[in-house]
Amino acid sequence: MADDRHDTIESLLVEGRTYPPSAEFVAGARVTDRAMLEAADADPEGFWAGQAAELLTWFEPWHTVCEWDLPFATWFVGGKLNVSYNCLDRHVEAGAGDKVAYHWEGEPGDTRTITYAQLLDEVSRLANALKALGVEKGDRVNVYLGMVPELPMALLACARIGAVHSVVFGGFSADSLRDRINDAEAKVLITGDGAWRRGSVVPLKETADEALAECPTIEKVLVLQRTAHGVPMTEGRDVWWHDLVPAQSDDCPPEPMDAEDLLYLLYTSGTTAKPKGIMHTTGGYLTQVAFTHKYVFDLRPDDDVYWCAADVGWVTGHSYIVYGPLTNQTTSVMYEGSPDHPDKDRFWSIVAKYGVTILYLAPTAIRTFMKWGTEFPERHDMSSLRLLGSVGEPINPEAWVWYWEVIGGGRCPIVDTWWQTETGAIMLSPLPGLTTLKPGSATFPLPGIGADVVDTDGASVGVPGGGYLVLTRPWPSMLRGIWGDPERYRDTYWARFDGKYFAGDGVKRDDDGYFWLLGRVDDVMLVSGHNISTAEVEHALVGHHAVAEAAVVGKTDATSGQAVAAFVILKAGVEPSEALVGELRDHVGNAIGPIAKPKTILFTEDLPKTRSGKIMRRLLKDVSEDKALGDTTTLADPGVVESIKSRYLAQPGGDDE
Ligand code: 6R9
């Protein structure tokens, strides 16, 4: 890194430094005062009804805004609409058919530009093809594809005919796919021959075939050709997309759906137990997704080129690659492959090529880019960027400041957005034209959202204070339950604190009332009677100049109950050594207190992560305690944990000292 840049970042990291919105940003921003927050707070239902009417087109109006029979909410009861109509037809009818919906770039470098009119045409054909395969309203359709335009098309085609989609991330194993198909009792699977990832073929069809050997409900499989590497087709069951879809009519009237009809199931990333089929419905979901997309990203639909670099296989992709952006008639970028193919500047070349103005990333990606160094973003002109977003994990201040300076050029507000598969849409986030930012804080609840911090008895802790994050009133895009298991829904989210939704995250509020997320409460360690959050120790570790990324778990310890075990990825060019272990232990001791010093530190090249980039601490805990590994099916790369395990057990002091 150039020395002046290093100095700038160091100076920005001064504790307590805040970032008010610049006058230039405020001048063009959608929200610059508290009027909307206050109105929403005074009358949340009236506020959401206003948004539903303004942002969506309804075939028939609702008669009741919200019915709340704790823990079951319904929104816009009696209203009728169609999601694909809202995402496509109405924009074409309004004359925006030639506007680009997606600039798509394949990993090998092939590109496609898809307008709203073309997308409507393709979605209608696909919807007719699904009907031809026997799909009816209410049926479940599983989708197992890479990041190709046909993936959003598949979601929209289901929505068009009232089928329920259940997307399984294209990197998941045959077992994960099988379990999710069987839980949803899906009738049709949409998949492909393969997907491109890091220059190689991800064998989707072979994996799907393995899963389907044990999926009795699947009748037909629609197969998209992408990699053309030659895959087996099962006679009578498998149909090539190119044989069926183009031959269909491009006229498929959108099915009028009830506001509370099921739109999709999405299985949670499963960092803990058995995956849950989270249920999202139609009217409330689309309202809140469109609202948050418009106001959190301060959208200017005529000028912005928006890129959410997540995968459609997780909720961020559902809400902020497909439904939010299309409802708001946005021009988006979609990229198929990995960020280091053919080189580590791929993302930045895409930003420059399409003139991306809004970029939405996960902290895990940002930390990876930090590890690779500034030379890659510095190769490209990224002056088109005007707003940056972060989602998926707490972002540590070092990564925030790096994102601010190196990617945003010190000019772009960063919206740190807290939400969950279960919440459907962003819940806590800055409003970029209003909120003064603090690096590492998701700041405040958005308009219409009730959030609080409570202690173990469910009592509000006030400001400042720390405890459990809860949501205090229903919101339109909230999950409607867990598929097939209403009791588990009640137990998981509503049983812990009476009348409140428990998010599972720990949180602190500072003197100014800002929310600071501390990670999952399952990840809190108890060391000699002291609660220490894994996120705090991880933040301390990545605050050391040698460390790129860190994961921390509490391992069972005979003397202290639990001991802190750390897994550390060093920055490029830093050599691991015993001296560095000592230095890092002292560094944590100084930052938090001697009690938080890791007992063991293992240097590693990689960490076990889910496909959405979340560290699977549960598996690291198994490693640190030398236990059989729990469910590894949701890992991005199952090899990583095995290799950490063998090295962990080999290291001096890796066992109990
Ligand atoms: C959207 C998504 C949800 C969990 C959530 C929390 C963590 C997400 C965060 C964040 C701190 C943020 N999380 N965003 N933690 N700051 N801005 O990630 O959904 O995959 O269901 O995960 O992710 O722990 O409870 P999902």
pLDDT of the residue at 523: 79
Give the atom of ligand 1 at the shortest distance from the alpha carbon of 316: 1
Contact by Cβ (8 Å): 322, 330: no
Q: Name the pLDDT band for 652 (thresholds 50, 70, 90).
A: low
CATH topology of domain 524-650: GMP Synthetase; Chain A, domain 3 (3.30.300)
Query: Which residue's C-alpha comes closest to atom 12 of ligand 1?
Result: 418
Domain locations along the chain:
2-79+280-520, 116-255, 524-650
Give the atom of ligand 1 at the shortest distance from the alpha carbon of 612: 20
> Looking at the predicted structure, is the pLDDT value of residue 638 above 60?
yes
What is the distance in A from the centroid of ligand 1 to the CA of 264?
19
pLDDT of the residue at 633: 66
Summarised one tens digit per residue, pLDDT across range 1-15 is: 556 777 887 888 887
pLDDT of the residue at 135: 98
Query: Which residue's C-alpha comes closest to atom 4 of ligand 1?
Result: 420
2-79+280-520 and 116-255 share one fold? yes
Summarised one tens digit per residue, pLDDT across range 377-403 is: 999 999 999 999 999 999 999 999 999
Burial tier of 261 (Cβ tally within 10 Å: 0-12, 13-18, 19+): buried
What is the distance in A from the centroid of ligand 1 to the CA of 439?
17
What are 68's two structure tokens?
């709340």
CATH classification number, 2-79+280-520, choose in 3.40.50.12780, 3.30.230.10, 1.20.1250.20, 3.30.420.40 = 3.40.50.12780
User: Which regions of 336-464 does DSSP assign to beta strands (E)?
Assistant: 358-361, 387-391, 414-417, 451-454
What's the whole-number mean pLDDT along residues 511-516? Answer: 97
Higher-pLDDT residue of 629, 402 = 402
Lowest mean pLDDT among 407-416, 543-552, 608-617, 629-638: 629-638
pLDDT of the residue at 654: 39
pLDDT of the residue at 655: 37
> Looking at the predicted structure, is the pLDDT value of residue 331 above 50?
yes
What is the distance in A from the centroid of ligand 1 to the CA of 519?
8
Rounded distance between C-alpha atoms, residue 189 and residue 196, angstroms: 20
What is the distance in A from the centroid of ligand 1 to the CA of 317?
13
What's the whole-number mean pLDDT along residues 60-83? Answer: 98
> Looking at the predicted structure, is the pLDDT value of residue 214 above 60?
yes
Backbone angles phi, psi at 40, to 5 degrees: -65, -35
What is the distance in A from the centroid of ligand 1 to the CA of 81?
29
What is the distance in A from the centroid of ligand 1 to the CA of 98?
36
Query: Which residue's C-alpha comes closest to atom 11 of ligand 1?
Result: 394
Query: Which residue's C-alpha comes closest to atom 10 of ligand 1?
Result: 393
Q: Name the pLDDT band for 196 (thresholds 50, 70, 90).
A: very high
What's the whole-number mean pLDDT along residues 282-298? Answer: 98
Residue of 266, 419, 536, 611 best suited for mutating to test ligand 1, as the one with most atoms within 8 Å of CB: 419
Query: Which residue's C-alpha comes closest to atom 8 of ligand 1?
Result: 392
Q: Report percent pLDDT > 90 for the chain.
A: 81
What are 529's two structure tokens?
């009677």
Query: Which residue's C-alpha comes closest to atom 19 of ligand 1?
Result: 420
Query: Which residue's C-alpha comes closest to atom 26 of ligand 1?
Result: 420
Q: What is the CA radius of gyration of the chain?
A: 24
Q: Which residue has tokens 């099962």?
A: 234
Query: Which residue's C-alpha comes closest to atom 3 of ligand 1?
Result: 420
Half-sphere exposure of 193 toward its Cβ, with a 13 Å CA cutoff? 16
What is the distance in A from the centroid of ligand 1 to the CA of 364?
12
Q: For 165-314, where are the alpha helices, taking DSSP H only?
A: 174-184, 204-212, 241-244, 283-296
> Looking at the predicted structure, is the pLDDT value of residue 16 above 90?
no
Q: For 89-239, where are the alpha helices, taking DSSP H only?
A: 90-91, 116-132, 150-161, 174-184, 204-212
pLDDT of the residue at 376: 98
Sign of the alpha-carbon dihedral angle for 553, 558, 560, 561: positive
Give the residue among 183, 200, 181, 203 at the shortest CA–CA distance from 192. Answer: 203
Summarised one tens digit per residue, pLDDT across range 124-167 is: 999 999 999 999 999 999 999 999 999 999 999 999 999 999 99
Give the atom of ligand 1 at the shortest distance from the alpha carbon of 268: 21
Give the atom of ligand 1 at the shortest distance from the alpha carbon of 429: 17
pLDDT of the residue at 239: 98
Summarised one tens digit per residue, pLDDT across range 571-586 is: 989 999 999 999 999 9
Give the residue among 295, 543, 569 at the shortest CA–CA distance from 434. Answer: 295
H or E element in which residue 622 lies:
helix 617-624
What are 395's two structure tokens?
């972002």
What is the distance in A from the centroid of ligand 1 to the CA of 617?
15
What is the distance in A from the centroid of ligand 1 to the CA of 367?
16
Q: Report percent pLDDT > 70 for the chain.
A: 97
Give the atom of ligand 1 at the shortest distance from the alpha carbon of 519: 24
> Looking at the predicted structure, is the pLDDT value of residue 657 above 50?
no
> Looking at the predicted structure, is the pLDDT value of residue 26 above 90?
yes
What is the distance in A from the centroid of ligand 1 to the CA of 126?
33
Summarised one tens digit per residue, pLDDT across range 524-572 is: 888 887 888 888 899 899 999 999 999 999 999 888 889 999 999 999 8
Residue of 167, 391, 438 best suited for mutating to test ligand 1, as the one with most atoms within 8 Å of CB: 391
Rounded distance between C-alpha atoms, residue 168 and residue 265, angstroms: 10
Summarised one tens digit per residue, pLDDT across range 420-444 is: 999 999 999 999 999 999 999 999 9
Residue of 311, 396, 414, 420 best suited for mutating to test ligand 1, as the one with most atoms within 8 Å of CB: 420
What's the whole-number mean pLDDT along residues 393-419? Answer: 96
pLDDT of the residue at 173: 84
What's the whole-number mean pLDDT along residues 407-416? Answer: 98
pLDDT of the residue at 140: 98
pLDDT of the residue at 10: 81
> Looking at the predicted structure, is the pLDDT value of residue 56 above 80?
yes
> Looking at the predicted structure, is the pLDDT value of residue 270 above 70?
no
Give the residue among 473, 521, 478 at the shortest CA–CA distance from 499. Answer: 473
Higher-pLDDT residue of 229, 624 = 229
What is the distance in A from the centroid of ligand 1 to the CA of 251?
39
Contact by Cβ (8 Å): 630, 618: yes
| Mean predicted lDDT score pLDDT of the chain | 93
Sequence-distant (6+) residues with CB within 8 A of 110 are none
Query: Which residue's C-alpha comes closest to atom 2 of ligand 1?
Result: 420
Give the atom of ligand 1 at the shortest distance from the alpha carbon of 610: 20
What is the distance in A from the centroid of ligand 1 to the CA of 614?
9
Pocket of ligand 1 (CB under 6 A): 268-269, 314-316, 391-394, 416-421, 442, 503-505, 517, 520, 612
Contact by Cβ (8 Å): 190, 141: yes
Contact by Cβ (8 Å): 267, 167: no
Rounded distance between C-alpha atoms, residue 106 and residue 368, angstroms: 21
> Looking at the predicted structure, is the pLDDT value of residue 644 above 90?
no
What is the distance in A from the centroid of ligand 1 to the CA of 191?
27
pLDDT of the residue at 244: 98
Contact by Cβ (8 Å): 421, 392: no
Give, in words, the CATH class of 116-255.
alpha beta
Which residue pairs, CB below 8 angstroms and at least 24 apart, start in 292-295?
A: 292/319, 292/324, 292/425, 292/426, 292/429, 292/446, 293/319, 293/320, 293/324, 293/325, 293/327, 293/328, 293/330, 294/30, 294/55, 294/324, 294/328, 295/30, 295/31, 295/36, 295/431, 295/446, 295/447
> Looking at the predicted structure, is the pLDDT value of residue 80 above 50?
yes
pLDDT of the residue at 401: 96
